[in-house]
Amino acid sequence: MRRNKWFTWLAMLLAVVLVFAGCSKPKESTGGSSEKPSAQDTLVYGRGGDSVSLDPATVTDGESLKVTKNIFDTLLDYNDNDTSVKPALATKWTVSEDGLTYTFELRQGVKFHDGTDFNAEAVVFNFERWANGNEDKFPYYGSMFGGYKNDEGHVIKEVKAIDDYTVQFVLKRPQAPFLKNIAMPPFAIASPEAVKKYGDKFGEHPVGTGPFIFKEWKRNERIMLEKNKEYWEKGYPKLNQLIFVSIPDNSARLNALLKGEIDIMEDLNPTDLKQVEGNKEFQIFKRPSMNVAYVGLTATRGPLKNKLVRQALNHAVDKKAIIDAFYAGQAEVAKNPMPPSIPGYNDAIQDYPFDLEKAKQLLAEAGYPNGFEIELWAMPVPRPYMPDGQKIAEAIQANFAKIGVKAKIVSYEWATYLEKLAKGEADTFMLGWTGDNGDADNFLYALLDKDSIGSNNYTYFANDELHNILVEAQTVSDENKRNELYKQAQEIIKEEAPWIPLVHSTPLLAGKTNIQGFHPHPTGSDKFTKVEFQ
Amino acid sequence: MIIPVLFGMSLVVFFMIRAIPGNPAQVILGQKATKEAVAALTHKLGLDEPWYVQYVKYIGGLLRGDLGESIRTGAPIAEEIWPYLAATLELSLAAMLIAVVIGVNAGIISAWFQHSWFDYIAMVLALIGVSMPIFWLGLMEQWLFSIQLDWLPTSGREDVRNPIEPITHLYLIDTLLSGNTEQFWQVVQHLVLPSMALATIPMAIIARMTRSSMLEVMKSDYIRTARAKGVSMFWVVYKHSLKNAIIPVLTVIGLQTGLLLGGAILTETIFSWPGIGRYIYDAIGYRDYPVIQSGILIIAAIFIFINLIVDLLYAAIDPRIKYN
């Protein structure tokens, strides 16, 4: 027995030594960025979640596309600050007069990371792959190009290689945002050889032409990319390594940045803005806003069936106060369902002013002089457009109370929340949307058309006049005429008031001061080609 | 007993997770998916089949040693789960080491010097420890030890700029195997804050349990006899008393170790520790049924295993306890 005891003591002593040694050690050597100058060409990007798959065509989540954007290239790419297009793998393009034929001239001498050639055949292979898929395999393809090969709505009739470096798309009918769609990160050109080789596992072995080569993925921890030395943009990328790490909690991520473990963090809490702004070692990056946060007013439920009630609720919310309190001023008041940066935005629309008297008057007119009781669903997860769903819900609850509408705040776990919303179970609910391609269709049709009921039109708002306009706008290729249609659509939406549009927020990122060339893109997917440390 | 318990667990978990509203297909495809996509994926995953068909298929797989495939990643769970489990094991064992060493000793000393200032302070700290929100504690630890004092890293298991080549996925062992002492220290440093946070509650419980158990034993006649014979107080406390007092403490330690395995989610989130708690928690968010089922089953199995060890330890410590 005596020996046992000594063993216990030894173990205890060892443990204590380990703990203390662990505490004191870092002073001597850390292996962190401060001591290894070589770390200055490695950028660590801290984000909230992990990717689902690195095959961009198969995913819809932003965390996946954020990474694949750097492994792959698309035929066209977006400019730095908006969704206007610029050449990428295609250097030039022409559009036929009827808007049905697009001819792309491809960049020559580009190789995939596996050494195979990028050419017209590769482009055709990728589009064939997606068109032969289905909703489950390639979800974005179907939603952006009207379905798949044998579907009636499928926009693309044919993709053919004219010669090695010319590829032609023939459409069944004009599609106004076609070029913007082509530039979306899901439609990145993958190496046909690698796709054949890895099959279903391509998402774990992505091979593209992009500025960075995939190296390693430890799930829930990090994804490591390495410089593509053969990249077609000469002299780029500047970084040697790009590492995406997942740190789920926003405050913990800020701590990791302050400690120097990561170089850039996304989703800075607006309330933490001051702390970072006051520190010379760090800078704030603002992602141009391409989102909207709103309160949906389910048009099929109780008093909300009445347009006057919906208008009254619109008058009752003090949006400015919400922005000051919960967004640290980093948002603008929303009056339309889409942000002002999107072509077709109707700036002539006057928002419902914050006017309690007017709201009460409308309620009385609608037959509810004493208000009513209602549920208000609060978003259970933080998003850049909705940093704290619960607290914002409480603010709106207080606003509603002033006109006699007693809102009961309800919340569910996120997946349950969306499921119940899709079934139309909420009276009023909070939600938001970040645009994919900067096109009005991606907001108005996706969120408020009657076709979208059951998917993203959670308000069950169905208006035939609006529907006709939105469908017409999808095929009009004359930009001005199209914008006119969207402006009309926004007038109808304003009048019918299926939402209380709340804000367009500016998502905040923070990074080290010596980072240069980083321009957060409104779509949320950033290319790190030109990013470097000073 | 183990087999029926696990079987019962599998049944309970199977029905409980299906009682949560939310269709995995919808969740996987995200907010932007169309209805057709959701229907297609639901069918592909076999989720449109009746529950008994799904359950029989699941149990059939389990009996063949097949834990199923993750709906979200498509990878076999048996392959995917080990790195997460290893991360949690490393963290929980480190936390339990801290909890036991500090908790037991604090409890003993408190009992020894009952009503002393040490006793009061230790028990007040223990009370605070039990009721401390881990989330807040974790963030405060990061703020103090990482940012203000610059002693320890804030999060993760390793320095991402100097990554570890996994062999067993238990990084303490991996770095020793590869003989990389610099990385070994890195792993230790990364372990300190999360294991301290995770240790807080069990440490407090163990300290209180040890104290009350010791107080009871120290009132016994044989202790008085030992003192009368002139045995020094130290030996009376650490040898004669502890041996009898440790049995209930051991039970608590066993239970707490089991709880840590599944209950480390908050710690794992704050310290972005890629452990099994977060793996299952994420799976719940994605309604990844096979991962939830198999993950919980594995934790249950470990829990049972730990209890078995505790039972065996009773017999080893106390000769009066014998198993046939």
Q: What is the pLDDT of residues A164-185, one digit of tens each?
A: 999 999 999 888 889 999 999 9
Percent of chain B with pLDDT over 70: 96
CA proximity to A429, closest of A410, A442, A444: A410
pLDDT > 70? residue B31: no
What is the structure's pLDDT at A9?
A: 58
Residue with tokens 């119940």: A420
Judged by DSSP in three states, B68 sits in coil
Rounded Cα gap, residues A294 and A386, in angstroms: 9
Q: Starting at the edge strand that comes first in sequence, how are the strands of the sheet with A291-297 ordered?
A: A331-333, A499-505, A291-297, A428-434, A373-377, A406-410
What is the structure's pLDDT at A23?
A: 45
A2 inside 8 A of chain B by CB: no
Mutate to test the interface with B, among A10, A255, A410, A452 (most CBs of B within 10 A): A255
CA-nearest residue to B269 within chain A is A248
Of B20, B147, B188, the CB nearest to A416: B20
User: What residues of B are in contact with residue A27 (Cβ under 8 Å)?
Assistant: 151
Token pair recorded at residue B175: 């770095």
Question: Cβ contact (<8 Å) for A60 and B274?
Answer: no
Contacts of A394 (CB under 8 A, 6+ apart): A409
User: What residues of A are in contact with residue B151 (Cβ under 8 Å)?
Assistant: 23-24, 26-27
Average of pLDDT values for A456-467? 92
The tens digit of pLDDT for each residue in A186-202 reads 999 999 999 999 998 89
**For residue B218, which phi and psi values (nearest 5 degrees)?**
-70, -10
Question: Cβ contact (<8 Å) for B29 and A44?
Answer: no
CA dihedral over A163, A167, A172, A173, signed as positive or negative: negative
CB burial of A301-330 (b: ≥16 within 10 Å; e: otherwise) equals bebbebbbbbbbbbbbbbbeebbebbbbeb
The tens digit of pLDDT for each residue in A301-354 reads 989 999 999 999 999 999 999 999 999 889 999 999 999 989 999 999 999 999
Residue with tokens 């470097």: A532
pLDDT > 90? residue A24: no
User: What residues of A are in contact with residue B46 (Cβ under 8 Å)?
Assistant: none
What is the structure's pLDDT at A110?
A: 95
Question: Per-residue confidence at A522, pLDDT binned at 50, 70, 90?
Answer: very high
What is the structure's pLDDT at A157?
A: 93
Token pair recorded at residue A489: 């659509």
How high is the mean pLDDT of chain B? 85
Rounded Cα gap, residues A470 and A489, in angstroms: 7
Question: What structural domains and CATH numbers belong to chain B?
Answer: 2-63 (no CATH), 80-317 (1.10.3720.10)
A52 inside 8 A of chain B by CB: yes
The tens digit of pLDDT for each residue in A64-75 reads 999 999 999 999
User: What residues of B are in contact with residue A143 (Cβ under 8 Å)?
Assistant: 32, 34
CA-nearest residue to B162 within chain A is A31
Rounded Cα gap, residues A32 and B118, in angstroms: 40
pLDDT > 70? residue A461: yes
Rounded Cα gap, residues A64 and A68, in angstroms: 6
Average of pLDDT values for B151-172? 87
Size of interface A-B (CB pairs under 8 A): 191
What is the structure's pLDDT at A236?
A: 92
Average of pLDDT values for B267-293? 86
Of B41, B159, B272, the CB nearest to A31: B159
- Between A316-325, A515-524, B233-242, the lowest mean confidence (pLDDT) is in B233-242
Token pair recorded at residue A411: 């919340």
Enter the pTM of the model: 0.84
Mutate to test the interface with B, among A221, A222, A223 (most CBs of B within 10 A): A221
pLDDT > 70? residue A162: yes
ipTM associated with this complex: 0.82
B18 alpha carbon, distance to own chain's centre: 25
Question: Cβ contact (<8 Å) for B156 and A139?
Answer: no
B169: left (phi over 0), alpha (psi -120 to 50) or beta: left
Question: Per-residue confidence at A33, pLDDT binned at 50, 70, 90?
Answer: very low
CA proximity to A330, closest of A500, A507, A502, A82: A507
Residues 61-100 of A with CB under 8 A from B: 61
Minimal C-alpha gap between A166 and chain B (Å):
33
Rounded Cα gap, residues B276 and B280, in angstroms: 6
In chain A the first and final C-alpha atoms are separated, in Å, by 64
Of A21, A221, A252, the CB nearest to B270: A252
Q: Which residue has the higher pLDDT, A418 or A117?
A: A117
pLDDT > 50? residue B11: yes
Mutate to test the interface with A, among B44, B143, B155, B198 (most CBs of A within 10 A): B155
Distances (CA, A) of B59 to B11, B16, B65, B76, B298: 9, 16, 10, 16, 14
Rounded Cα gap, residues A186 and A72, in angstroms: 9
CA proximity to A59, closest of B106, B30, B86, B103: B30
What is the structure's pLDDT at A414?
A: 82
- Between A226-230, A322-326, B25-29, the lowest mean confidence (pLDDT) is in B25-29
Average of pLDDT values for A33-43? 61
Highest mean pLDDT, choosing among A449-458, A482-491, B153-162? A482-491
CB contact at 8 A, B72 and B287: no
A484 alpha carbon, distance to own chain's centre: 26
Question: Per-residue confidence at A92, pLDDT binned at 50, 70, 90?
Answer: very high
What is the structure's pLDDT at A4?
A: 53
What is the structure's pLDDT at A45?
A: 96
For residue A111, the one-letter residue type is K
Rounded Cα gap, residues A367 and A312, in angstroms: 12
Question: Per-residue confidence at A5, pLDDT binned at 50, 70, 90?
Answer: low
Average of pLDDT values for B6-17? 82
The tens digit of pLDDT for each residue in A363-386 reads 999 999 999 999 999 998 888 899
pLDDT > 60? residue A221: yes
Q: Which residue has the higher pLDDT, A503 or B14?
A: A503
Question: Cβ contact (<8 Å) for B32 and A436?
Answer: yes
CB contact at 8 A, A375 and A410: yes
What is the structure's pLDDT at B324?
A: 62
Which helix (H) or strand (E) element contains residue A404? Answer: none
Of B27, B155, B285, the CB nearest to A247: B155
User: What residues of A are in contact with residue B283 (Cβ under 8 Å)?
Assistant: none
User: What residues of A are in contact with residue B269 (Cβ under 8 Å)?
Assistant: 248-249, 252
A408 inside 8 A of chain B by CB: no
